[in-house]
Amino acid sequence: MPISALEAAHRAASDLEMVAWVDRDDQLLGGLPRQQLRERGLIGRGTFILLFNSAGELCVHQRTLSKALYPGFWDVAAGGMVGVEESYAESAARELAEELGVSGIPLTPHERFYFEGEQNHLWCAVFSAVWDGPLQVQPEEVQQACFMPVDEALRLSEQQPYCPDSLDALKRYLAQINTL
């Protein structure tokens, strides 16, 4: 399936976006264009927002094919890179509004952790929220989205390509709430 001109333009702008560049201790070193951070294998900051409905189902979405990382993969969290001038919380609110059209709701902060994958190195901040309204996906980033039981999302992640970083965030979140 070809990438639309809108997706291609969005991807080009995204690659130039200035994002937070940090060290292994999550200390800010400055800002770099997203593509440069990725190509040089440097560490950035990212947010993961686990969006649930009041029935406890998790919002899962499929990424567009134009995404630089994990194109076409399923994702268990909204989120993205933290801008150089943003806090984790500001980034989380912005990303949730951009990707899923959800805004004006409280975001509960959870842990921060370091994720190192083949293609990305991130300090991650995990948030959760509850939303029963409609989803308005950003077509340049999200192909489709739906709510499903958490167990179903985890089962499907063993059969289909899922983003490993957000899957790690979900599993860490579940371990944390199961120990409370």
Containing structural domain, residue 39 = 5-178
**Per-residue pLDDT tens digits for 147-167:** 999 999 999 999 999 999 999
* Contact indicator for 22, 98 with CB cutoff of 8 Å: no
Question: Residue 99, annotated ligand binder?
Answer: yes
**Per-residue pLDDT tens digits for 40-58:** 999 999 999 999 999 999 9
Question: Residue 140, annotated ligand binder?
Answer: no
99 or 118, higher pLDDT: 99
Residue type, 137: V
Compute the residue count for the chain: 180
pTM: 0.92
- Per the structure, how many domains does the chain have? 1
CATH number of the domain to which 26 belongs? 3.90.79.10
